[in-house]
Amino acid sequence: MFRYILKRLLLMIPVILVTSLVIYFAMSLTGGDPAIYLAPENASDAQIQQIRVDLGLTESFPIRYLKYMAGMFRGNMGTSYVTKRDVFNTFMTRLPNTLQLAGASVLIATLIAIPLGIYTAIHQNTWKDTAGMIFALFGVSMPNFWLGLMLIILFSLKLGWLPSGGKTGLLSLVLPAMTVGLGLAALITRTTRSSMLDVIREDYIRTARAKGCSEKRVIRKHAMGNALIPIITVIGMQLSNVLTGSVLAETVFSWPGIGRLIFDSISKRDTPMVTGSIILCSVLMVAINLLVDVIYAFFDPRIKAQFMRKV
């Protein structure tokens, strides 16, 4: 197992290198001249040129790139044009906020969706199933930023129960997390339901019943164990959507996360910040993918065996 993880970590490196190269290259084409941004007012051309030399901007592209990547490992990815603050630090300070939002969203989503999905599968073709499916269908069809606006109108403006923006404590996490979480819940409900329906038809469920297992046990032990596998896969695939969902939620609720950071930087053409955050973001996503795959292997012994053997 460890060898598998190590192998995956090693594989991460080329992916990150390629992604960062592409982004760095693209940004350098459009980025504007950092020296001009960083120079004090009234600086002479010679001074600006000196800044360029100091920053290493006069060197060739490959060297700049390598130095940049080396810098990443030391936590130095440049300075923001706008805030004049360190890119790496800014990203890292805001990362936990997004992780909290994402974590709370996934939590809400699974707590709602998995029981609901199982329930509708067991009661297939009754009104309970139809009701659950209609909820899920609406949830999947609405843009989550609009849901956020609706939640604000209802819970902040009309009822006044919850704050409408900013990070001001635990309560302020509720609406943003619901914005991302409910849409995710709708999707996971559908997946859970269809996964359960597939599993219930399998022959080994019939074997379990023929052994004398109660229906409860059949669902709990035999069906769930197998149904969870594709569900976890879907949740894993959705994690990057949770991130983008966070971007939208952060915008609607002025939540200080990295999604908002990337967007603000883009609109302000803050190249170092954009470059740095997108690269760090991709590192994050690759790491999360690895985590999900490892969890997945835990649940499905066939995959575990494959992993063990592959290395």
Partner 1 sequence: MVDISINSISGEQELKSRSLGQETLRRLLKNKGAIIGMLFLLILIIAAVLSGFIYDYDTDVISQNIGERLQWPSRAHIFGTDELGRDIFIRILYGARYSLTIGSGSVLIGLIVGVIFGSIAGFYGGMVDQVIMRTNDILYAVPNIMIAVVIVSLLGTSTFNLLLALCVSASSSFVRIARASVMTIRGQEYIESAYAMGLPTWKIILKHVIPNSLSPIIVQVTLLIGTTIISASSLSFLGIGVPSPAPEWGAMLSAGRSQIRNASYICVIPGLAIMFTVLALNLLGDGLRDALDPKLKK
Partner 2 sequence: MADEKMDYMLEVKDLKVQYNTDAGIVYAVNGLDLCITSKKTLGLVGETGAGKTTTALSILNLVPNPPGKITSGEIFLAGKSVLGMNINELEKMRGNEVAMIFQDPMTALNPVMTVGDQIAESIMLHNKVSETESMSRAKEMLRLVGIDEGRIHDYPHQFSGGMRQRVVIAIALACHPKFLIADEPTTALDVTIQAQVLELIKQLIAKSDMSVLLITHDLGVVAEICDEVAVMYSGRIVEKGTADDVFNHILHVYTEGLFNSLPNLRKRGEELRPIKGMMPNPMEKIVGCSFAPRCPYATKRCLSEIPALRKMSDTHFVACHAYDDKTFTLKGNING
- Contact footprint for partner 1 (CB under 8 A): 15, 18-19, 23, 26-27, 29-30, 137-138, 140-146, 149-150, 152-153, 157, 240-241, 243-244, 247-248, 251-252, 262-263, 266-267, 274, 278, 281-282, 285, 289
Residues 6+ apart with CB under 8 A from 234: 187, 188, 191
Which of 7, 67, 206, 220 is close enough to bind partner 2 by CB under 8 A?
A: 206
- Interaction with partner 2 in 229-268: which residues (CB under 8 A)? 229
Who's near 172: CB < 8 A, 6+ residues apart?
Answer: 162, 163, 165, 166, 253, 255
Q: How far is the CB of 31 from partner 1 (least distance, A)?
A: 10
Tell me the two tokens of residue 268: 């302000």
E strand map for the chain: none
Classified as helix, coil or strand, 311 is coil
Q: Using the minimum distance from each CB to partner 2, give the nearer residue, 193 or 260.
A: 193
Distance (Å, whole) CA 188 – CA 210: 31
Work out whether 209 is an interface residue with partner 2 (CB under 8 A): yes
Compare residues 1 and 18 and give the one whose CB is closer to partner 1.
18
Nearer to partner 2 (CB atom), residue 155 or residue 299: 299
Position 298 contacts partner 2 (CB under 8 A): no
HEC assignment per residue over 157-225: HHCCCCCCCCCCCCHHHHHHHHHHHHHHHHHHHHHHHHHHHHHHCCHHHHHHHHCCCCHHHHHHHHHHH
Contacting partner 2 within 215-234 (CB under 8 A): 215, 222, 225-226, 229
Residues that bind partner 2 (CB under 8 A): 125, 202-204, 206-215, 222, 225-226, 229, 299-302, 305
